[in-house]
C-alpha cells in the first residue's frame, strides 16, 4: 500500500465492521466515520492513577482542612481520654497530605520518564508567540466568540496555563506551607522542621502561615469547580474526548477535519 492511499479504505464501508452492521443501528456514514476516527494515547497509566489519587486526596484535604479551621460542634461522646474526634480529623488531613506529597513527587518523576504529554503541566511556553495567540483563541471560544474550537491532543493552551498555576504552583504552595505547619507539631529538629521549618522563619507568625494555607485551599476549590465544569463541557462541546481520556488514557476525536 502506497502512502497516497493510506487514508482510504481498501474495501467499501458496507463490507467491513460486520458486527456493527448486525445490530442495525450503524448507518453507512457511521461506518465511514469509525473507520477514520482514531485515538491518541495521551495519559499513561501512572498519570491517570496520579490524577484520581490526587483528586481524592485533595477532596479529603479540603473537607478536613475546613473542619480544622472551623471545627464541628463540641461533642460529648466519652471522657476526653477515650474520644479522639478532632484527632481523627487531623489524622485524615495529615495522611491525605502525605499521599498527596508522594503522588506529587511521583508525578514530577513521571514528567521525566513518561511520554511528552506528561511534561505539559509543568511549564508554560512563554517565549512562543504562537502559544499566546492560541491561548487568546481558546479564551474567545470560552467567551462564545468562536463558532468552533480547535483540536488538541494534550491540554489546550488555556488548560495548560490553568494547570501550571493551580496544580504545579498551587500544589507546591500548599505542600510547602502545609509541611511548614506540620513541622511545628513535629517539633524543632525533626525531619519536617529541618526540611520546611525555614518557611515559618520567613512568614514569621504561624497564624499568618495558617491564613495563607487556608486561602490556598480556596484557590484549589475554585480550580476544582472550573476544572470539572470545563472537562464536562469540553467533553460535550469540543472536538475530542475529555472525561473518558482520564480513565482510558486515549484521546478520541469526533471529526476528521484538519482544522
Partner 1 sequence: MSNIETFYDVMRRQGITRRSFMKYCSLTAAALGLGPAFVPKIAEAMETKPRTPVIWLHGLECTCCSESFIRSAHPLAKDVVLSMISLDYDDTLMAAAGHAAEAAFEETIEKYRGNYILAVEGNPPLNEDGMFCITGGRPFVEKLRHAAEGAKAIISWGACASYGCVQAAAPNPTRATPVHKVITNKPIIKVPGCPPIAEVMTGVITYMLTFDRLPELDRQGRPAMFYSQRIHDKCYRRPHFDAGQFVENWDDENARKGYCLYKMGCKGPTTYNACSTVRWNEGVSFPIQSGHGCIGCSEDGFWDQGSFYDRLTNIKQFGIEANADKVGFAAAGAVGGAVAVHAAVSALRRAQKKNEEA
Residue ranges that bind partner 1, judged by CB under 8 A: 66, 69-76, 80-81, 83-87, 89-90, 142, 144, 147, 184-185, 187-188, 197-198, 200-201, 204-211, 214-215, 217-218, 221-222, 225-226, 229, 233, 236-237
Least separation in angstroms between CB 72 and partner 1: 7
Least separation in angstroms between CB 219 and partner 1: 8
Report the alpha-carbon distance of residue 150 to residue 158 in Å, rounded. Answer: 12
Report the alpha-carbon distance of residue 87 to residue 93 in Å, rounded. Answer: 10
Would you say 44 or 235 has its CB closer to partner 1?
235
Residues 6+ apart with CB under 8 A from 34: 17, 20, 26
Would you say 107 or 213 has its CB closer to partner 1?
213
> Grid coordinates 479504505 are at which residue?
9
Cβ count within 10 A of residue 129 = 9
Would you say 20 or 221 has its CB closer to partner 1?
221
- Asked whether 231 and 242 are in contact (CB, 8 A), the reply is yes
Would you say 110 or 141 has its CB closer to partner 1?
141
Would you say 97 or 209 has its CB closer to partner 1?
209
For residue 237 the three cell numbers come to 462541546
Least separation in angstroms between CB 165 and partner 1: 14
Least separation in angstroms between CB 135 and partner 1: 18
Would you say 102 or 215 has its CB closer to partner 1?
215
- Residue 47's Cα: distance from chain center in Å? 9
Least separation in angstroms between CB 59 and partner 1: 14
Least separation in angstroms between CB 163 and partner 1: 17
Amino acid at each position: 500500500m502506497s502512502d497516497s492511499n493510506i487514508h482510504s479504505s481498501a474495501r467499501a464501508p458496507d463490507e467491513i465492521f460486520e458486527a456493527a452492521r448486525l445490530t442495525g443501528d450503524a448507518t453507512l456514514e457511521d461506518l465511514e466515520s469509525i473507520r477514520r476516527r482514531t485515538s491518541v494515547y495521551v495519559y499513561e497509566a501512572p498519570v491517570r492513577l496520579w490524577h484520581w489519587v490526587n483528586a481524592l486526596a485533595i477532596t479529603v484535604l479540603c473537607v478536613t482542612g475546613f473542619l480544622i479551621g472551623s471545627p464541628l460542634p463540641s461533642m460529648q461522646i466519652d471522657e476526653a481520654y477515650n474520644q479522639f474526634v478532632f484527632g481523627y480529623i487531623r489524622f485524615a488531613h495529615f495522611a491525605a497530605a502525605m499521599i498527596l506529597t508522594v503522588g506529587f513527587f511521583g508525578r514530577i518523576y513521571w514528567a521525566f520518564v513518561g511520554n511528552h504529554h506528561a511534561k505539559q503541566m509543568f511549564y508554560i511556553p512563554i517565549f512562543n508567540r504562537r502559544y499566546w495567540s492560541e491561548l487568546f483563541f481558546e479564551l474567545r471560544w470560552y467567551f462564545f466568540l468562536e463558532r468552533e474550537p480547535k483540536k488538541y491532543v494534550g491540554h489546550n493552551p488555556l488548560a495548560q496555563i490553568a494547570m501550571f498555576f493551580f496544580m504545579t504552583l498551587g500544589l507546591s504552595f500548599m505542600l510547602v506551607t502545609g509541611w511548614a505547619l506540620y513541622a511545628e507539631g513535629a517539633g524543632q529538629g525533626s525531619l519536617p522542621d529541618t526540611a520546611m521549618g525555614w518557611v515559618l522563619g520567613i512568614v514569621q507568625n504561624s497564624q499568618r502561615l495558617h491564613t495563607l494555607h487556608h486561602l490556598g485551599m480556596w484557590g484549589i476549590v475554585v480550580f476544582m469547580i472550573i476544572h470539572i465544569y470545563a472537562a464536562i463541557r469540553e467533553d460535550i462541546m469540543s472536538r475530542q474526548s475529555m472525561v473518558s481520556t482520564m480513565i482510558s488514557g486515549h484521546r478520541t476525536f469526533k471529526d476528521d477535519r484538519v482544522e
